[in-house]
Structure 1
Amino acid sequence: MKIDNVDGTPVGQILLRPKPKNPDVVDKYLQAANNCTDACPNKVYTPQHVETLFNTEIRNHILYKSDCDGDLKFDVENEKQWGCVWRERLKCPKCNFVSKYYRLYDIFESNKRGPKAAKLNVQIQCGLITSPISNKNFRDILMFSNMVPPSSSGMQKTANKVAKQIKREGFKIVCPNHEGVHTAYIAEDASIGNEGAYSSWCATEVSDYLKISHITTDGDSRAFQGVKQVHGTNVEALRDVRHLSASMKRAITRCTFSPNLFSGTNKLNQKNRFALDIKARCVAELNQSFNVHQGELYKDKQYMPEVIKTIVMCYKGYCGSSCKVNSYVCSGLPSNHWIKNFIPNGSTCRMTCDDEVKFENCIRILPGPNSLNLVRFLTSTQKSEAFNRALSRCNPKNVSFPRNFPGRAHAAVHMINHRFANSALLLTEELCVYNNSTKSSQESETKG
Structure 2
Amino acid sequence: MSSTTVKKTRGRRPKRKDHGFKKGNEEWKKRRKSPSSTVPDTDEDSSFKGIVRPSKSLYDGISYNPGEDNSKAPMILRPQVSKLEKKEEIVNNDEDDDEELGQENYIINLQKMNILQQNFLDFHDFQKCVKPNSKLLITKHLGLGISGMLICKSCKFESEEIKLYHEGPNRSCMLNKAIAIPMLKTKVGPTDIQFFLASLNITPPSLKLMYRILNESAPVATKLNKESMLKNQEFVAKVQSLKGQGHTVDIEVDTSYNNRVQSGFEAGTMSISPAVECSTSKKLVLSLNVSNKLLKPSSPNTETLSQPFPIHQSITSSEAESAVKNIESIHETGILSVRSVTSDQSAQVEKAIRNLSAKSSHGITHFYCLVHRMRTLQKRLQNLKLKSFIHGYDSDSFTRHTARVVRSRICFEIMRLNKVTQNRSVFKRKVQQASKNVIPCLSGDHTNCNKDSAYCRKSKIKHIVRSLPNHEYLVLTPDDEVKLTNEIQKFFNDINSEKIKNVQTTNKVESIHHRCFTVAPKNTNWPRNFEGLCHSAVHSDTLNRGTSAVVLAQGLGLTYDFDSPFRKLMQSVDDINIYDKKRQKTYQFRKQRHISKLRKCNRRLASKSMYNSSNNDQCWEHNYAIDVNR
TM range (shorter): 0.5 to 0.7
- The 1:332/1:159 distance shift into structure 2, 3 A limit, reads same
For 1:434 and 1:314, how far apart are their aligned partners in 2?
Answer: 65
TM-score, reference length from structure 2:
0.47
- Matched to 1:328, the amino acid is A
Aligned partner of residue 174 in structure 2, secondary structure: coil
Cα distance between partner residues in 1 of 2:389 and 2:474: 8
Q: Distance in 2 between matches of 1:124 and 1:268?
A: 54
Counterpart in the other structure of 2:190:
135
For 2:518 and 2:498, the matched residues in 1 are separated by 35
Paired residue for 2:526, among 401, 404, 408? 401
How far does the alpha carbon of each residue in 1:164-216 deviate from its partner, in whole angstroms, 9 at most, with x for none? Answer: 4323289xxxx997679966614544554323344444555538967766433
Q: What are the equivalent positions in structure 2 for 1:69-218 lying under 5 Å apart? A: 83=143, 110=168, 112=169, 114=171, 116-118=173-175, 122-131=177-186, 133-136=188-191, 138-139=193-194, 149-168=204-223, 185-186=307-308, 187-194=310-317, 195-204=319-328, 206=331, 214-218=340-344
CA–CA distance in 1 between the matches of 2:191 and 2:518? 16
Shift of 1:258: 1.8
Partner of 1:282: 410
Equivalent residue in structure 1 for 2:438, among 311, 318, 341: 311
Q: Matched residues in 1 for 2:101 and 2:384: separation?
A: 69
Aligned to 1:258, the other structure's residue is in SS state coil
Aligned counterparts of 1:221 and 1:331: Cα–Cα separation in 2: 39
Q: Tell me the distance in 2 between the aligned counterparts of 1:130 and 1:322.
A: 55
Which ranges of structure 2 fall in alignment gaps of 5 or more residues? 1-27, 34-98, 118-134, 150-160, 228-294, 569-630
**Contact 1:244/1:365 (8 A) holds in 2:** no
Superposition deviation, residue 247 in structure 1: 0.6
The alignment partner of 1:350 has SS state of coil
- Checking the alignment, whether the CA contact within 8 Å between 1:319 and 1:332 is kept in structure 2 is no
1:357-393 alpha-carbon deviations (Å, 9 max, x no partner) = 2222344465554432111122333444444444444
Change (3 A) 1:325 1:387: same
Determine the structure 1 residue equivalent to 2:482.
Answer: 357
Asked if 2 retains the 8 angstrom alpha-carbon contact of 1:212 and 1:231, the reply is: no
Q: What's the counterpart of residue 300 of structure 1?
A: 427
Question: Following TM superposition, by how much is the alpha carbon of 1:137 offset from its aligned partner in structure 2, in angstroms?
Answer: 5.2
The 2-side partners of 1:262 and 1:365 are apart by 31
- Residue deviations 1:381-420, cap 9 Å, x none? 3444444444444455654535434432431331333344
Percent identity, aligned pairs only, is: 18
Match of 2:622 in 1: none
Assess if the C-alpha contact under 8 Å between 2:435 and 2:489 holds in 1: yes
Matched, 1:230 2:356: yes
Q: Deviations over 1:346-365 (max 9, x none)?
A: 34433222222222234446
Tell me, in whole angstroms, the C-alpha distance in 2 between the residues paired with 1:310 and 1:44: 73
The answer on 1:255 being equivalent to 2:384 is yes
Partner of 1:241: 370
- Change in Cα spacing, 1:357 to 1:426, as seen in structure 2 (3 Å) is farther
1:411 to 1:273, Cα distance in 2 relative to 1, 3 A: farther
Alpha carbons of 1:343 and 1:37: their partners in 2 closer, same or farther (altered >3 Å)? farther
Aligned to 1:32: none
Change in Cα spacing, 1:434 to 1:380, as seen in structure 2 (3 Å) is farther
Change (3 A) 1:324 1:37: farther
The 1:372/1:421 distance shift into structure 2, 3 A limit, reads farther
**Preserved contact between residue 416 and residue 455 of structure 2 (Cα < 8 Å):** yes
Q: How far does residue 129 in structure 1 lie from its aligned partner after superposition?
A: 1.6
Alpha-carbon distance change, 133 to 221 in structure 1, aligned in 2, over 3 angstroms: farther
Amino acid in the other structure paired with 2:387: S
1:252, 1:359 within 8 Å by CA — same for their partners in 2?
yes
Match of 2:385, SS state, is: coil
Deviation of residue 292 (structure 1)?
A: 0.5
Structure 1 residues without counterparts, runs of 5 or longer = 9-35, 57-73, 90-100, 443-448
Structure 1 residue 139: Cα displacement = 3.5
Shift in alpha-carbon separation, 1:190–1:86, aligned structure 2, 3 A: same
Structure 2 match to 1:63? none
Deviation at 1:281, TM superposition (A): 2.7
Instruction: Give the Cα separation in 2 of the matches to 1:38 and 1:272.
Output: 70
Change (3 A) 1:389 1:306: same
Distance 2:410 2:332 in 1: 37
Matched, 1:424 2:546: no
C-alpha distance in 2 between matches for 1:207 and 1:45: 48
Q: 1:240 to 1:140 in 2, by over 3 A?
A: same
Counterparts of 1:328 and 1:298, CA distance in 2: 16
Describe the superposition over 1:68-94 as per-residue Cα deviations: whole angstroms up to 9, x where unpaired: xxxxxx99x9798765688999xxxxx
CA offset at residue 241 of structure 1?
Answer: 0.8
Relative to 1, partners in 2 of residues 1:406 and 1:304: Cα closer, same or farther, differing over 3 Å?
closer
Q: Aligned-pair distance for 1:424?
A: 3.0
CA positional deviation for 1:333: 2.2
Conserved? CA contact 2:297–2:307, under 8 Å: no
Where relative contact order (Cα < 8 A, 6+ residues apart) is larger, the structure is 1
Aligned amino acid, residue 303 of structure 1: K
AA aligned opposite 1:217: S
How many angstroms does 1:289 deviate by? 0.3
Per the alignment, do residues 364 and 116 of structure 1 end up closer, same or farther by CA in structure 2, a change over 3 Å counting? same
Once residues 382 and 178 of structure 1 are traced to their aligned partners in structure 2, the CA distance between those partners, rounded to angstroms, is 35
Alpha-carbon distance in structure 1 between the residues aligned to 2:174 and 2:296: 37
Give, in angstroms, the shift of residue 162 of structure 1: 3.1
2:138/2:147 contact within 8 Å kept: no
Following superposition, the deviation at residue 311 of structure 1 comes to: 2.9
Tell me, what secondary structure is at the counterpart of 1:154? helix
Task: String of CA shifts for 1:146-173, please: whole Å, max 9, x gaps.
Answer: 8754311332343245324323289xxx
Q: Distance in 2 between matches of 1:348 and 1:245?
A: 22
